[in-house]
Amino acid sequence: MTKIKISVKESEAENFPDELKIILNDPEFNADNDLTIIKSKKHGKERFTTQYTMLDEGDVNPPLLFVFGKEINNRQIYIKLIIKTDRARHILCLSFHYAEERMNLPYA
């Protein structure tokens, strides 16, 4: 069974937003082609789940998946992102929604 890394060093977590900002500010970045937002997890859409995405990488060292929380209007927003490098640099947003439970933000 493939074991997926479930935590990162603080430096990796700190570098991720900078890397994301570089990609988003790159003049070559095109949101239509370089950003994928998973919009649904309805029955019959299992291929859009986090588990399917991670297993479909077919790599014992898949790209790091980062989970962030952001407080907006006294509500936490849950954001889950991956930067994929299989083709240029591509951002995959797996989740973006209100947090179901209060999140502990270790690097806030």
Please report the pLDDT score of residue 4 as a whole number.
47
**Range picked from 35-39, 59-63, 65-69 for highest mean pLDDT:** 65-69
Domain locations in the chain as residue ranges: 10-98
pLDDT in tens, 17-37: 888 888 889 999 888 888 887
Task: Output the DSSP codes for 29-82.
Answer: --HHHHEEE-----TT-GGGSHHHHHHHT--SSPPPEEEEEEEETTEEEEEEEE
Enter the pTM of the model. 0.60
**Is 70 exceeded by the pLDDT of residue 100?**
yes
